Structure 1
C-alpha cells in the first residue's frame, strides 16, 4: 500500500520556487504601479481661526426659508474645520484636516475627509408650545456671531431667545452650550426631545467592512458602562446615557450631555450603494428647569486612535472594537505595543507585520514543535495502523478503533496533544481579525500592490461579480490560500480515514477549508492576509526543517518499539475513551440480539 509521506526534497524545492515566484510577482506589480502613478501637486487653503459670516446656498432644507437667507459661520484649528448653518443653528460641516478620505474614482485616499457635509447630519431640540404646536430648533433661523474661537447662534421665537454657543477646543472637541431666555412664556414642558438624524459617509475603500463597523455607541452609569448596537433598533429607556455616538471604521461623531440623555431610542438601516453607508436616527430627552433649556453639551469629531480615546477619560476607548475580554487585552497589551515598537525602527507597515509574525511564531515555537513532532511520530506508526485496519477489515468498526487506540497508547502518542496548538491559535486569529481593520496606524499604509493594509487589495479586477467573492481577486488572499493548501497537504498525510460508513472524509474537508478561506479573506484587510501568508509559509518551513534536519525517523521508530515493551499506564482520557467504546460495543451487541430474536 502506498503511503503519503508528506513532501519530499523535490517538493521542497518546488515550494521554494513557488515562494520566489509569488514574491517576484508582488515586486513586479509594485514597480509597475509605481511607474504608472504620477505625482499630483495639491494646494491646500489654510482657514483662519476667525472667519467672517458669509452667505451660502442651501438645498433640501426648510421650504419656508429661502436659500439666500441661510448664513454660515466657520471655526478651525489644526485638527478640525467646522462650519455652522443659521438654519437650525447646527453644525453643518466637519472636516478632519489631518486625514484623507478614499476616492473610488481615482482609487486613492486623496479627498478631504468630512464626517458632516451635504446635510448628512441634522439635529435639534423639540418641545411643544402652550397651544400644543411642536417646535423643533432645527427649523428655526439663527443669526450667527463669531468671536475668536467661538460662534454664537441666536434665534427668536414668539419673544423667547434661544442661543447655541459653540467653542472650538483642542483634541477634536467642540463645546456646545444651550441657553434660553423667556422660553417659559412659550412652553410648559419640563424636558426637551433631542433628535439627531445621521447618515454615515463612505470614507474607506472596503464598503462592506466599513458598513459592518458603523453603529451606535454609548456610555451610561456615570461613564462606567459601555454598549453598542449594530442592529436595526436600540432601546435604552431605563438608562441615562452620558454620551451617544455614531462610530465608523476609524472615526466617530459623539455628543456628550453633562446631565445625560434619558429614554433613549434609535434605529438604523443599511444603504446599499452611493456615498452613504447607513442611516441612523436617535432620540433622547434632556431636562428643562422652569421650562427653560439651559444645558451643556460637548461634541467630539475624532479619529479612533487608542491613546487619544483614553486621554478623554470618558470610556471612549471602548468605541474601538478590539474584541472582548482576553481578545481585547491581547490587542491593547500585546499586538498594538509590538507594532508601535517595531514601527519606530523606521520600517514600512508590511515589514512590521512580517516581523510581528516571526515574533509570534517564536513565542509559539515550543507548542508548534510538539505538534510537528507528534505528526512525525504518527507518520512512523502509520504502517502499523494500516496493518491493523487490513487485518480487521471485516470486523466491527468499534473494534478497529479500539485496536488503533491501543497502538497509540503503546507507542506513547497522545492524539489530543495535537489539539493544543489549534486551540491556542483561535484567540490569536480572532484578535488579529479585530486588529488589522481597526488599527488606525495602519490606515492608508500601503505595501507592494496593496494601497491600504486595512482594506483588500484588488489588483486583479473581474468583469463580473461572483457571489460572496465580489468583483475582484485579492493577490494577498490568493497567496495565503496557496500556502494554506500546501500546509494542509503536508499535514493531512497522517490523518486516519473514517472507518464507519457515513462518516465524512476529513481529508476532503481539510482541502476545502483553504478554498472557503479565500472567500473570507478576499474582502478582508490585506494586512490580515499578508500576516497569514507569512505565518503559514513559516509553518511549512518549520515542518521541512523538523523533517530533514531535526527528527530522525529511525530513532523515533526505535523509541516507539521501546515504548511498546514497557508497561504503559493508561491515562484518564484514554481510560474514559476505552470505557465509552466498550459500553457502546455492549449496547450494539444487545441491539443485534434483539433484532435476531425478532427475526
Structure 2
C-alpha cells in the first residue's frame, strides 16, 4: 500500500485550528484598535488646534519683495479651496476639501489634503526683453481682483500689461487664461518658456509605494497617445504635449495647454525622507503671436477616480496605472465593476474583497479541479515511477526520462495540464497588484487592524529595520505567507525530484518561495495580502474536499489501468518531447563513438 504523502485528518484539524487562531487574533486586535482610536481622536483635536495653518511670510518667498507687497486671494468650491499669491500671480495652495491626508503622528487620515502648500509648486512664463534680460512672471508682483468665481491677476513690466485670469469651474477644474498688452514693445520673442517646479507631498501611509507611483504623465497627438516617465529625465522635444501632469498615488496636478507645449523636457529626483517624495521640474514652450502671449490653459487638481477621469474625455483615465492591454482591461472591466456592485450591498471593504475572492475562485474552479485531479493521478502512478527509477538507477538520465514519460503516456496523464492554472493566475495576480494600491474607492477603508487597505498594516512594529522588510511586520502578510506555505506542503508531495546530479531540489525551492513572498507583501497594500490569504485558504479547502469527498483513488487507479489497456495516441507535445530525446540520445552516442575512435 502506497504511503499517503498528502495531508491526513490530524493535519486537517491543525489547519482548522490555525484558521480559528488567525481569525481570533484578528478580531482581538480589531477591538483593541477601536479603543486606541478613541484615545487618538481626543489627541487629534488638541493637535489640530496646536498645528493651525500659519500664514506664509513674504520675506520667506522672495527676499527682494517687501512683506506688505504680497497679497493673497481665494476661490472656493465644494471640491477645491484655492489660494493665490500676488508674487508670480500663481496658485499657492490647493486643498481637496472632500479628502484627507495621512497623519504620521496619529496614524490616521485626519489632515487637510493639500496638493500645493508651503511653496512646493512654482510656475511661470519666461522670455527675454530686448536687452537680453531674462524675465519670468513668477518674479513679478501681480494685483488681484476677484469677481465671483473669477480672479484676475494683473502685473506691469516696463509698460507692458500681463494678466492671469483664473476661473474656478466644477469637476476640480481651474480655467487659466494669459493675456498681454504692450509686450511686443518689450520683447521680440515668438515663444515663451513655461517652467514648472513641483515637489510631491507625502499624502499616504506607504511612503515607498506612493513614491514609486509619483511621476510625470502626459498626452500628445491630439490627446490620442499617452505616456509617463518615472525615471530621472523625460524628453519629448519632437511631440506637442496636450497636457502635462504630476501624478501621485491617488491624485494628480495637471495643466492643459490648448495649443500645446513644444520642446518639452523635464527631470525628477527622489527625496528619501521628510514631507516630500519627489522633486520634478518641467519646461515646455508655448507660442507667442506678434510677441504677445495670449494663450488658454486649464489646471486640473483631481482625484484619480476612473469615472471622473473618463468624463473629461482627454485621455486622463490613462493616468491610472491599472496595467497594459489585457491586464488593464481586467481591472477596468471586471475587478472594479465587481467591487462596486458588491459594495452596494452595504458590506465593508474587507468583506467585499472576501466575496470577490470567492467569485474568482468559482470562475476558475473547473481549471483548479483538473489540476487537482491530475495531482491525484500522479500520486497513484508514483509507485510505478519509483520502480522504473530503481531499475534504471545506473542508466542514462535521458533513458530514465523516456521511461517516465512512457508511464505518463500510457496512464493518460498530461503533465503540461498542470501548468495551465499557474499560467491563468499570473495575469490575475498582476492585475490585482495594480488594482489594490490604485483603486481610490479603497483609499482609507479599514478592515480589522489594517486602517487602509491600499497601504500595509503595521500592527507589529520592530525596534529596528530589516533590509527589504522595513521596521514592521504586516499581520495580513504573515497570515498570507503561512497559508501559502501550507498549500505548498500539500501540493509538493507528488512532485518528482530531478534525478540528475547537481540539479536543485524543487521542493526546497517551493518552500523558500512563500518566505520571499513575505518580503514582497510586507510593504504592499494590505488588501492584496488579504485577498491572497483568502484565496490560498480556499485552495487548501478545495484540496481537502477533492481529496476526501470528490476523488476516489481506487477509481482513479482503475481508470489508469484501463487507459493502459487502450491504444493511446501520442499528443503533439509528447511526440515532440520523444523526438527531441531520441535525437539527443543519437547525438550522445555519436559523441561517445568519436571519443572511442580517438582512443
What TM-score, normalized by structure 1, do the two folds share? 0.97
Contact 2:89–2:141 (8 Å) recurs in 1:
yes
Shift of the alpha carbon at 1:47? Answer: 21
Once the two structures are superposed, the pairs formed by residues 51-62 of structure 1 within 5 Å of their partners are 57-58=57-58, 60-62=60-62
Q: For 2:384 and 2:116, locate their aligned partners in 1 and report how far apart those are by CA, in whole Å.
A: 70
Shift of the alpha carbon at 1:51? Answer: 23
Deviations along 1:418-455, one digit per CA (max 9) or x if unpaired, are: 11111000100000000000000000000000000000
Deviations along 1:528-572, one digit per CA (max 9) or x if unpaired, are: 000000000000000000000000000000111111111111111
Shift of the alpha carbon at 1:116? Answer: 0.2
Contact 1:201–1:275 (8 Å) recurs in 2:
yes
SS of the residue 1:144 aligns to: strand
Q: For 1:79 and 1:568, locate their aligned partners in 2 and report how far apart those are by CA, in whole Å.
A: 69
Shift of the alpha carbon at 1:46? Answer: 20
Q: Does 1:193 align with 2:193?
A: yes
Alpha-carbon spacing, 1:562–1:288, altered in 2? closer, same or farther (3 Å): same
Q: For 2:117 and 2:575, locate their aligned partners in 1 and report how far apart those are by CA, in whole Å.
A: 68
Shift of the alpha carbon at 1:41? Answer: 7.0
1:449 is matched with 449
Deviations along 1:152-193, one digit per CA (max 9) or x if unpaired, are: 111000000101011111100001010111000000001000
SS of the residue 2:267 aligns to: strand
Alpha-carbon spacing, 1:43–1:175, altered in 2? closer, same or farther (3 Å): farther
Moved more, 48-57 or 371-380: 48-57
Alpha-carbon spacing, 1:342–1:247, altered in 2? closer, same or farther (3 Å): same
Alpha-carbon spacing, 1:55–1:527, altered in 2? closer, same or farther (3 Å): closer
Shift of the alpha carbon at 1:147? Answer: 1.1
Contact 2:59–2:66 (8 Å) recurs in 1:
no
SS of the residue 1:132 aligns to: coil
2:315 is matched with 315
SS of the residue 1:335 aligns to: helix
Once the two structures are superposed, the pairs formed by residues 264-279 of structure 1 within 5 Å of their partners are 264-279=264-279
Shift of the alpha carbon at 1:598? Answer: 3.3
Unpaired segments ≥5 residues, structure 1: none
Alpha-carbon spacing, 1:148–1:54, altered in 2? closer, same or farther (3 Å): farther
Alpha-carbon spacing, 1:145–1:10, altered in 2? closer, same or farther (3 Å): same
Contact 1:150–1:166 (8 Å) recurs in 2:
yes
Contact 1:368–1:421 (8 Å) recurs in 2:
yes
Contact 1:233–1:268 (8 Å) recurs in 2:
yes
SS of the residue 1:482 aligns to: helix
Q: For 2:362 and 2:77, locate their aligned partners in 1 and report how far apart those are by CA, in whole Å.
A: 46
Alpha-carbon spacing, 1:432–1:293, altered in 2? closer, same or farther (3 Å): same
Deviations along 1:332-387, one digit per CA (max 9) or x if unpaired, are: 00000000000000000000000000000000000000001000110111111111
Contact 1:232–1:269 (8 Å) recurs in 2:
yes
SS of the residue 1:217 aligns to: strand
Alpha-carbon spacing, 1:465–1:55, altered in 2? closer, same or farther (3 Å): closer
Alpha-carbon spacing, 1:3–1:134, altered in 2? closer, same or farther (3 Å): farther
Moved more, 45-54 or 253-262: 45-54
Shift of the alpha carbon at 1:105? Answer: 1.2
Alpha-carbon spacing, 1:417–1:455, altered in 2? closer, same or farther (3 Å): same
Contact 2:40–2:106 (8 Å) recurs in 1:
no
Shift of the alpha carbon at 1:68? Answer: 3.0
Contact 1:253–1:302 (8 Å) recurs in 2:
yes
Deviations along 1:250-293, one digit per CA (max 9) or x if unpaired, are: 00000000111100000001000000000000000000011000
2:335 is matched with 335
Deviations along 1:103-159, one digit per CA (max 9) or x if unpaired, are: 111111001000000000000000000000000000001111111111111100000
Q: For 1:43 and 1:4, locate their aligned partners in 2 and report how far apart those are by CA, in whole Å.
A: 58
Alpha-carbon spacing, 1:256–1:467, altered in 2? closer, same or farther (3 Å): same
SS of the residue 2:47 aligns to: coil
Once the two structures are superposed, the pairs formed by residues 183-262 of structure 1 within 5 Å of their partners are 183-262=183-262
Contact 2:122–2:196 (8 Å) recurs in 1:
yes
Deviations along 1:33-56, one digit per CA (max 9) or x if unpaired, are: 112221677999999999999996
Q: For 1:400 and 1:50, locate their aligned partners in 2 and report how far apart those are by CA, in whole Å.
A: 77
Moved more, 245-254 or 32-41: 32-41
Deviations along 1:292-338, one digit per CA (max 9) or x if unpaired, are: 00111000000000000000011000000000000000000000000
Q: For 1:589 and 1:115, locate their aligned partners in 2 and report how far apart those are by CA, in whole Å.
A: 72
SS of the residue 1:354 aligns to: helix
Contact 2:56–2:118 (8 Å) recurs in 1:
no
Q: For 1:48 and 1:140, locate their aligned partners in 2 and report how far apart those are by CA, in whole Å.
A: 35
Q: For 2:418 and 2:51, locate their aligned partners in 1 and report how far apart those are by CA, in whole Å.
A: 67
Contact 1:242–1:256 (8 Å) recurs in 2:
yes
Alpha-carbon spacing, 1:161–1:249, altered in 2? closer, same or farther (3 Å): same
Alpha-carbon spacing, 1:159–1:55, altered in 2? closer, same or farther (3 Å): farther
Alpha-carbon spacing, 1:82–1:131, altered in 2? closer, same or farther (3 Å): same
Shift of the alpha carbon at 1:58? Answer: 2.9
Q: For 2:53 and 2:410, locate their aligned partners in 1 and report how far apart those are by CA, in whole Å.
A: 88
Contact 2:174–2:300 (8 Å) recurs in 1:
yes
Moved more, 33-42 or 332-341: 33-42
SS of the residue 1:48 aligns to: helix
Q: For 1:588 and 1:291, locate their aligned partners in 2 and report how far apart those are by CA, in whole Å.
A: 80
Alpha-carbon spacing, 1:426–1:139, altered in 2? closer, same or farther (3 Å): same
Alpha-carbon spacing, 1:162–1:46, altered in 2? closer, same or farther (3 Å): farther
Deviations along 1:16-43, one digit per CA (max 9) or x if unpaired, are: 1100100000000111111222167799
Q: For 2:233 and 2:72, locate their aligned partners in 1 and report how far apart those are by CA, in whole Å.
A: 34
Shift of the alpha carbon at 1:593? Answer: 2.3
Unpaired segments ≥5 residues, structure 2: none
Alpha-carbon spacing, 1:362–1:271, altered in 2? closer, same or farther (3 Å): same
Q: For 1:456 and 1:191, locate their aligned partners in 2 and report how far apart those are by CA, in whole Å.
A: 47
Shift of the alpha carbon at 1:67? Answer: 2.6
Alpha-carbon spacing, 1:54–1:416, altered in 2? closer, same or farther (3 Å): closer
Contact 1:73–1:84 (8 Å) recurs in 2:
yes
Alpha-carbon spacing, 1:62–1:405, altered in 2? closer, same or farther (3 Å): same
Contact 2:129–2:135 (8 Å) recurs in 1:
yes
Q: For 2:332 and 2:417, locate their aligned partners in 1 and report how far apart those are by CA, in whole Å.
A: 30
Q: For 2:413 and 2:284, locate their aligned partners in 1 and report how far apart those are by CA, in whole Å.
A: 63
Contact 1:53–1:146 (8 Å) recurs in 2:
no
Shift of the alpha carbon at 1:194? Answer: 0.1
Contact 2:444–2:454 (8 Å) recurs in 1:
yes
Shift of the alpha carbon at 1:585? Answer: 1.1
Alpha-carbon spacing, 1:454–1:56, altered in 2? closer, same or farther (3 Å): closer
Moved more, 99-108 or 33-42: 33-42
Contact 2:240–2:263 (8 Å) recurs in 1:
yes
